[in-house]
Amino acid sequence: MFNKRAVIPVFFLLVIAIVLGMYRPALAGKPTIAPQCKQCHQSAPDVIRGTFAGFSEKFKSLQVATGSLVWVIKYGDDLKISGDEKLSAISMEKEVAVRFTGGDKHPYAVNISIKPPAKVPPERLVSVNEMVKLTALGPEKGSYLLIDARSPQKYKEGHLPYAVSMPFERFEKYKDKTLPKEKDKLIIFYCYDMTCQLCPAAAHKTEELGYTKVKIFHAGMTGWEKSGNLVVSEPAYLKDLIEKDIAHILIDLRDSHEAQKEFIAGAVSIPMKDLAASKGKFPPDLSAPVILYSSDGSEEAFKIVRGWGYEETSALRGGLAAWKQAGGQVATGKLDTVISYVPKPRPGEVSIEEFKELVKNGAKDKVILDVRDVEETANGMLKGAINVPTSQIKDRLSEIPKDKEIIVHCATGIRAEMAHDDLVDSGYNTRFLNAVILINKDGQYEIIKK
């Protein structure tokens, strides 16, 4: 039977604990751990685990994303950094753990730790040199299956030759159609870098299914690129660049006479025999995405262009044939021979300068929409901005004026673009800020271009 007398003292103890600050719910539901970190860690009340999203020396604050929420955490000269010498050395999206004091409303960073390399037994590792030899042989001669465990978008943008995509989060869905029937076939997993836990986790799941030769390319995509090895992009990536009108350089390496018969619309003709002497034709902007294609592979061309410093260089998998199979547009006739590259903002992106002007002086025909979560805005909001979290946009359209241009921002630009897309679909005139922005209690802010 339910004992009321036993409950009353417990209730009063709880009230006393709340008053004294001894009890508080798990940070009021604010996630302190990113989904990918849950593979190896449990949430803790004084530790935030997620991806590094930036920092500000001016405001003495750093940002860590735990999924859709971005924490803004104050720090001081007493901040201890484990795994790097200083905050500026931590790359964006690096997995970190921040130990803090002050509670969830006023978190103060005591220590930030950069995720160390995943522990993998030496006998299960595949080195960069071994991976180079295997890709040179190809999966048939080398008798292996190479699996990219990263997100589908990252795979599209660039992957190792012959790799197939099987994102770790979709392992159960794709395992039957991706994994081979032969249980003794060599299977190699890779992800981002040595700190990534996706590979060990995917390898463990694969072994549980009875596969006996499962290995890990520990250096991952980062190590592969640093070594200057061939990066292959998917036709879907080129389609994205074209459809979203994102500036890029597409080079047809075939003989000009062959290329004129049929080529990918928008390509510039630089035959392979002329490429090494054509550095002067390329723009000075080394961040330009460069995609190369030919009839018989583009590895030599890739190494030439990448050697010039163009880090976003890739070879189009399957060349023209794969492009056509994917439904890509082709053309005939004379190709351009001059590269015309003009960097463009993403569709709907507002410039940082215009955004600052709007914050400073306002505008009768514009409204700033802050799409961060309510917990994030508690750290500070821009003067005059309205707040509707990204996840609630479609349910709260009545709060967003339709007779004005909506300028959207979040903490990093990612959710702002998502909200922008939702608003466009709903008939709004809108643009978004594609940058990291830090805001303090007084509405002062700092913008850091990604």
Question: Which residue do the tokens 């850091």 mark?
Answer: 448
Q: Is 272 left (phi over 0), alpha (psi -120 to 50) or beta?
A: alpha
User: 410 an active-site residue?
Assistant: yes
Alpha-carbon distances of 293 from 111, 207, 317, 319, 321, rounded to whole Å:
47, 37, 8, 5, 10
Q: How far apart are CA 57 and CA 98, in angstroms?
A: 17
SS3 232: strand
Phi, psi (5° rounding) for residue 6? -75, -30
- Residues 335, 252 contacting (CB under 8 angstroms): yes
Measured at the alpha carbon of residue 385, what is the angle toward residues 379 and 389, in degrees to the nearest 5?
70
Give the active site residue among 37, 191, 196, 410. 410
Alpha-carbon distances of 232 from 117, 275, 313, rounded to whole Å:
25, 19, 9
What is the four-CA torsion angle of 330, 334, 337, 339, rounded to 10 degrees? -40
E-strand stretches of 12-118: 47-56, 61-66, 69-74, 80-82, 95-101, 108-114
- Residues 11, 23 contacting (CB under 8 angstroms): no
Q: How far apart are CA 2 and CA 312, in angstroms?
A: 67
- Find, among 181, 180, 221, 229, the residue nearest to 198 by Cα: 221
- Find, among 446, 398, 404, 392, the residue nearest to 428 by Cα: 404
Identity of the residue numbered 208:
E
Which residues belong to the active site?
410
